[in-house]
Amino acid sequence: MNRDAEAALLVGAIVIASMGVGLVNLAQGGTIDAQVALTFFVFAAAFGSLHFAVRRWAQHASAFLLPIGSVLSAIGFVEVYRLNPHFAALQRWWLLIAAGIATVLLALLRNSGVAPLRRYRYMFLAAAVGLLMLPMLPTSWSFPLRGVIVNGSRLWTRFTVGPLQLNFQPGEIAKLCLVVFLASYLAERQPTLTASRTVGRFTIPEPRHLIPVVVAWIASFGLLVSQRDLGASLLLFAVFIAMLYVATERTAYLTVGGVMFLGGAIGASMAFPHVARRITAWLHPFSDPADTGYQILQSLFALGSGSLSGSGLGVGTPTRIPAAFTDFIFSAVGEELGLAGTVGVIAAYALLVAVGVGIALRSRDLFRKLLAFGLSFTLGLQTFLIIAGVTRLLPLTGITLPFMSYGGSSLVANFMILALLARISHEEHT
Amino acid sequence: MNRPMRRVTAFLFVAFAALLLNVTYIQAIATSKYRDSPLNPRVAASITGKERGLIVTADGTVLARSIADPSDPSRFTREYPQGAVYAQVVGYSSLLFGDEGLERAYADELRSRRDLTVSDLIDALMGRDLSPKSLELTLDNALQHAAYDALGDNVGAVVALDPQTGAVLAMASTPSFDPESMLAANAHTLREQLLADPKEPLVNKAIARTYPPASTFKVVVASSAVENGVAGPTTQFNDLAELPLEGSTSSIHNYGNGPCRDGTTVPLDVAFRYSCNTIFAMLGLQVGAPTLYETSLQFGFDAPVGLELSAEESYFPTPNELDGPALAQSSIGERDVKATPLEMAMVASSIAHEGVLMQPYLVSRIVDVSGQTLDQTTPQIRSEVVSSATATVVAQMMEGVVASGTGTRATVPNVRVAGKTGTTDAGSSSQAVWFIGFAPVDNPTIALAVVVLDAGENATGGTVAAPIAGNILNYWLQP
């Protein structure tokens, strides 16, 4: 596929976004108004700039990345607009900012490629840790940067400049920094980490090489304890173990990681009532439909009501779902676009993961390989965890659905993933 | 390094496949479990989703209306301002349980036709009006309330007809329920309770249940005898305390098990006035099964009622089912004879209207959004049951019942009231006490039937049903 086909597909996504806004307006008794034009121009500007950035600085990049990212953003945006036009207006700004940052990233890497990222790995580690710690800042102090507690979780940070307030989830960016660090660290240490010793019939990693695993586990668990963020801690630990396994080809890491995860999960469910509640809601949603099971039931009701073809955009009542425009955006799409919509969305994510892993498989350089894989795996696992959560395949973990959920930090992080994957795929052709 | 990468990715794709299977299960296979769950707020919201037409009484009292949601003018809440008084007649419109009552019978007229179904689309293209239509009923609001209040805590039903036209003036059934409660969020539980209630509050007992008409059926027997010259009001009968039935071990007794009057002879009009069972059993045997069957058909038995609401057929056995004992027992409204309160009101109405039975109806007009009449019901003769002379004779006998017989408690001051009481045998499958009648005798404006079920061991039509009828008639005839 070439860049012109990519441009054509991007135009399709831009049309989906603006026409979707028009349909929502019509369904709710309104008219086709400036919102449609505004959406058209914002999407055109965001994806237009990315497209031209890729054309100019990564012309050999995979042409699948931007179209898939754009169509998911378009469907997500239309649903956010349908749920809350005020948040949609903010989301438009975030879209421009995220596309701008991704464009700048492509520009910065235009000569050097992703290689310099490798050199600054400890800076990324420090950034990741720092970002993860940000929400722990006091909630009430005079410093412009402070922690915010939302729904009992401490994931947010508020940045105040004069009258301007900006809430963001540093965890989203931290996730990205951590993947860069891990790719770099594992590429460097790959030979030593593969070393193993034999105990009887078993081949186990050098015990000292298990130290990083333990550190990651403690960090993830600390995240869970301090910020009550089930989703992020699970995601970070899984990404770490997966990348370690890929880099070393030692299944022992998987076993050790799996056991540690299970231990952590069981321990957490016993120690923390909020984790236990999630598990109860997962197993017995109907036992307390007004309280524990409320969220997941509202999600299932929305999906079930959507049935095969959905109620139609703007015609359903997805506003009944709690947090519909963030964590539960998938359920809102399921109600209004039906099974057709949900299968389409899942297929798009699967395709994006496949494209990302394909880039990793073709990469000749160890760092790029691990980076592309880590980014794709993070994206895929995060998507799986939240969709599985809202469809009651797994207990609910509060994380965003990439590209579709409302939220600036998430959008910026995922557009940066697109830019990095585009850059890596470009480098394989040069 | 590519091998573990492929493995991890394969694992991720299996997980994605599980997602696809799971959403397919939720959205295509187990859909109804979630979509139709009573806990699903969409269910409650969809019950009252679309606009429906008005239902009003003859005097303009609103029985059902749709009120636009202030936050969303395209959604409507259905309201039933008169609540339980009309519950079984008007019914309710619910996506959970379907429509009931007139809301069901006139669903097509009442619904908004802006659903964009194919037929609506065609009508829209043809320029036809798509707004919901309204119903104007024959019911009189004040009389309906009087009937509902007169029934009070009794389990029973009242039907009042205009004998000249067949218009249903009142149709009450107790106990009742609040139709708006069927649209509430907890409607499922509430409906379960109502369905489990042995007093059947959801059932319109005036038309949907049949009961042994007991002695009120003597109006049919007397009409048949007079019409066919078998007997007249002065024809004398032996006042037997017990009538043994040939070919059967059972026998016919009078109420109280003694002779009906003094044990000598009794003329037919006196036997009617005091509801002598042995004499009417003899009379029935004299009239004969074919003739009595024919008369009962004329009164409306064994045929669909033809009311706008679906009603049970009342039952009188065919001649070849009626051997001697069966005929004797059927002649006093027992054994297999079963009638709805509406049927017995039709019997009274036929006598009131000089032997002519008018087709009963509930809906007088269908009106469009601008108030223009789209369809108007014209009164129709259903059958010419008996001659006007016969009707006059039977009417006189019925007047005697209220003047000095078993039905004196249905008296209205200064108004001539005709009536007949009925009390089922102790051995009947269901206990029902009745009063049927009409007034004023010289120019009837109302014919009614009152039934009360399980009224108590010593309850009779005269002591329980007649006072209720008296209340209603008093209300109607005393301004």
Q: pLDDT tens digits, residue range A29-50? A: 677 788 899 999 999 999 999 9
Q: How confident is the model at residue B246 (pLDDT cuts 50, 70, 90)?
A: confident
What pLDDT is recorded for position B386?
Answer: 92
Give the number of other CB atoms < 10 A from CB of residue B33: 15
Residue B22 lies in a domain: no
| Cross-chain CB nearest to B40 (options A305, A334, A381) | A305
Residue B417 lies in a domain: yes
The answer to whether B256 touches B283, Cβ cutoff 8 Å, is: no
C-alpha separations of A96 from A15, A48, A183 in Å: 17, 11, 29
Closest Cα of chain B to A163: distance in Å? 33
**Averaged pLDDT for residues A253-262:** 87
Question: Is the pLDDT at B424 greater than 60, yes or no?
Answer: yes
Domain that holds residue B347: 214-362+379-477
Residue B23 has pLDDT above 90, yes or no: yes
pLDDT reported for residue B155: 93
Place B243 in a pLDDT band, splitting at 50, 70 and 90: confident
Q: Residue B176 pLDDT more than 90?
A: yes
Nearest-CA distance from B30 to chain A in Å?
8
Q: Is the pLDDT of residue A400 over 60?
A: yes
What's the confidence (pLDDT) of residue B113? 62
Contact A304/B1, CB-based, under 8 Å? no
Predicted pLDDT at A1:
59
pLDDT for B382 equals 93
| Per-residue confidence (pLDDT) for residue A37, from 0 to 100 | 93
Contacts of residue B72, defined as CB under 8 A and 6 or more positions apart, other chains included, come to none
Q: How confident is the model at residue B124 (pLDDT cuts 50, 70, 90)?
A: low
The pLDDT value recorded for residue A205 is 67
Q: Are A327 and A390 in contact (CB under 8 A)?
A: yes
CB-based contact (8 Å) between A394 and chain B?
Answer: no
Nearest residue on chain B to A238, alpha-carbon basis: B8
Distance CA A415, CA A73 (A): 10
User: Considering only alpha carbons, which residue of chain B is nearest residue A191?
Assistant: B1
CB-based contact A238:A381 (threshold 8 Å): yes
When computed from its CA atoms, the radius of gyration of chain B, rounded to whole angstroms, is 28
What value does the mean pLDDT take over residues B453-472? 89
Q: Give the residue among B330, B352, B315 at the shortest CA–CA distance from B448.
A: B352
Nearest to A358 by CA among A416, A425, A414, A413: A425
How confident is the model over A132-146, as pLDDT tens digits? 888 777 777 777 777
Residue of B nearest to A386 (CA): B19
B311: in domain: yes
If phi over 0 gives left and psi between -120 and 50 gives alpha, with beta otherwise, what is residue B147? alpha
pLDDT in tens, B301-328: 999 998 999 899 999 998 888 887 888 8
Residues 363-392, chain A, touching B (beta carbon < 8 A): 366, 369, 373, 377, 380-381, 384, 387-388, 391-392
Mean pLDDT on B233-241 = 88
> Can you tell me the mean pLDDT for B229-237?
90
pLDDT score of A94 more than 90: yes
- From chain B, pick out residues whose CB is under 8 angstroms from the CB of A387: 19
User: What pLDDT score was predicted for residue B6?
Assistant: 94
Residue A271's pLDDT is what? 83
Mean pLDDT within B437-463 = 91
Per-residue pLDDT, A162: 66
Among B446, B318, B299, B291, which Cα is nearest to B382's? B299
The first and second tokens of residue B51, run together, are 């606009």
* pLDDT (0 to 100) of residue B294: 93
A48 CA: distance to closest CA in chain B (Å): 31
Query: In the annotation, is B131 catalytic?
Result: no
pLDDT at A232: 81
* pLDDT tens digits, A287-312: 888 788 888 999 999 999 888 888 88
The answer to whether position B179 is within a domain reads no
Rounded average pLDDT over A142-167? 70
Q: What is the pLDDT of residues B323-357, one digit of tens each?
A: 878 888 888 888 889 999 999 999 999 999 999 99
> Is the pLDDT higher at A146 or at B22?
B22
Confidence (pLDDT) at A430: 64
Position A403 scores a pLDDT of 96
- State the CATH number of the domain containing residue B420: 3.40.710.10
CA distance B246 to B242: 13
| Stretch among A117-126, B195-204, B382-391 having the lowest mean pLDDT | A117-126
Average pLDDT, whole number, for chain A? Answer: 87
pLDDT per position as a tens digit, B177-205 = 999 888 876 677 788 889 899 999 999 99
Residue B49, pLDDT > 70, answer no
Helix locations, B29-182, DSSP H? 31-35, 41-47, 87-90, 101-105, 107-110, 118-125, 141-151
Q: What average pLDDT score do residues A241-264 get?
A: 88
Residue B26 DSSP label: I
Residues 233-272 of A with CB under 8 A from B: 242, 245-247, 249
Task: Count up the domains in chain B and report the number.
Answer: 1
**What confidence tier does B416 reach under pLDDT thresholds 50, 70, 90?**
very high
pLDDT of residue B361: 96
Where are the extended beta strands (E) located within B70-216? 72-79, 93-94, 98-99, 134-137, 155-161, 168-174
Nearest chain B CA: its distance from A275 CA (Å): 22
A vs B, Cβ pairs < 8 A, gives: 121
Please give the single-letter amino acid code of residue A153. Answer: S
Q: Do B16 and A384 touch (CB under 8 A)?
A: yes
Model confidence band, residue A69 (pLDDT cutoffs 50, 70, 90) = very high
- B108-122 pLDDT, tens digit per residue, is 788 776 554 566 667
For range A375-395, the mean pLDDT: 95
Contact with chain B for residue A350, Cβ under 8 A: yes
B71: closest chain A residue by CA: A28
ipTM of the complex: 0.93
- pLDDT at residue B291, as a whole number: 92
Instruction: Give pLDDT, residue B300.
Output: 93
CB B219 within 8 A of CB B331: no
Q: Which of B355, B323, B331 is nearest to B271 (CA)?
A: B331
Average pLDDT, chain B: 88
Q: Residue B454 CB: number of other CB atoms within 10 A?
A: 15
Q: Is the pLDDT of residue B42 over 80?
A: no
Pairwise CB contact (< 8 Å): B27 & A297? no
Q: What is the mean pLDDT of residues A172-193?
A: 86
Shortest alpha-carbon distance between residue B71 and chain A (Å): 12
Instruction: For residue B290, name the pLDDT band (cuts at 50, 70, 90).
Output: very high
Q: Which of A304, A346, A380 sits opposite B26 (nearest CB)?
A: A304
**Pick the residue with more confidence: B210 or B429?**
B210
* Least confident among A188-202, B126-140, B259-273: A188-202
Contact A76, A387 (CB under 8 A): no
Q: pLDDT per residue over A209-250, tens digit each?
A: 767 767 777 877 777 677 777 788 888 889 989 998 998 888
